[in-house]
Amino acid sequence: MKVIIAKDYEDGARKAADIIEKIVRENPECTLGLATGSSPVGMYKELARRCREEGLDFSKVHSVNLDEYVGLEGTHDQSYRYFMNTNLFDHINIDKANTHVPNGLATDFEAAAAEYEDGIEADGGIDIQVLGIGSDGHIGFNEPATSLVSRTHVQTLMLQTRLDNARLFFGGKLDEVPTRAITMGTGTVLDSRTAILMAFGKGKAPAIAGAVEGAISHMNQASALQMHRDAKFFIDEDAASLLKNVDFYKAVYADSDLRSLEA
Ligand code: GLP
């Protein structure tokens, strides 16, 4: 696990975009695992700019998203399909037919989950998985005590998660936040070839401390990334504020360019 402490949100967004750009340029047919939430939005803007101004080509790229609320249509302005269209897909030259978000309206969720896993496999697996982190350490919508080897499944959301998401996205209306979501499992995430987790702000500091320096535990799902073959955390000073080894991470990774990040 590499911990990159960015100067600020924009710096973190650019550094994370560098990693994605490298993968897309090396393999134009790669599969990107994508996330919703406020953390990756700046990176998506930067990728859209690079597509527009620097010819970064997404025409053959496939994508799979982490999760979707149960019960929301893709046209609902709080659905994750809508989020991805408006924050990324509408601004890059990706073929929307190659973009996949779990089906929150499935009638048979077990079948939908198995189909989603099959789709990832058919795409050749996930080359890079983008992640945010919930205040309880969740990745995707894998809440505390979910198996660390879980695959795509339906998850009941913790009240805190619904409160966080109501505050950020549903205009504060808790009643409108669905109680369940269909999410890739933490095991699905662990199978990705590279994983980048983005977190900014003091509110994320306890979850980041648990994920990076705590014991691996299903009570902080992101801590499972300690077992990932290539996980990089892009965080700001505030999100890093409860880490013990900040000086070490800064000395080794903070000003690294892409080459040394791979060392
Ligand atoms: C939601 C999403 C997660 C995301 C988290 C944090 O719960 N399902 O994938 O990481 O929110 O969101 P934010 O980046 O807005 O803090």
Bridge partner list, 69: 181
Could you read off the pLDDT of 47-63 as tens digits, one per residue? 999 999 999 999 999 99
Catalytic residue among 46, 62, 127, 138: 138
Virtual torsion, Cα 53, 19, 60, 110, nearest 10 deg? -130
The residue with tokens 């590279």 is 194
Q: pTM for the complete prediction?
A: 0.95
Residue 129 pairs in a beta bridge with 33, 195
Q: What is the pLDDT along the chain (263 residues), one digit of tens a residue?
A: 999 999 999 999 999 999 999 999 999 999 999 999 999 999 999 999 999 999 999 999 999 999 999 999 999 999 999 999 999 999 999 999 999 999 999 999 999 999 999 999 999 999 999 999 999 999 999 999 999 999 999 999 999 999 999 988 899 999 999 999 999 999 999 999 999 999 999 999 999 999 999 999 999 999 999 999 999 999 999 999 999 999 999 988 865 554 445 54
Asked whether the beta carbons of 148 and 50 are under 8 A apart, the reply is no
Give buried/exposed letters for 193-202 (b at 16+ CB in 10 A, else e).
bbbbbbbbee
* Cβ atoms of 204 and 234 closer than 8 Å: no
Q: What is the pLDDT of residue 131?
A: 98
Which atom of ligand 1 is closest in space to residue 199's alpha carbon?
Answer: 14
Task: Pick the atom of ligand 1 nearest to 36's CA.
Answer: 9
Instruction: Report the C-alpha gap between 120 and 33 in whole angstroms.
Output: 9
Strands, E assignment, 20-104? 31-34, 62-65, 67-69, 99-100
Taking the C-alpha atoms of residue 244 and residue 209, their distance in angstroms, rounded to an integer, is: 8
Q: Is 183 close to ligand 1, i.e. is its CB under 6 Å away?
A: no
For residue 191, how far is its CA from the centre of ligand 1 (angstroms)? 20
Query: Are the C-beta atoms of residues 194 and 23 closer than 8 Å to each other?
Result: yes
- Token duo for residue 4: 């990159």
Question: Which residues, 6 or more positions from 226, have their beta carbon under 8 angstroms from its beta carbon?
Answer: 1, 211, 212, 216
Distance 8 CA to ligand 1 centre (A): 18
pLDDT of residue 254: 62
Question: Residue 141 Cα, ligand 1 centroid: separation in angstroms?
Answer: 8
| CA quadruple 207, 209, 213, 214: dihedral sign | negative
Residue 194: per-residue pLDDT: 98
Is 136 tagged catalytic?
yes
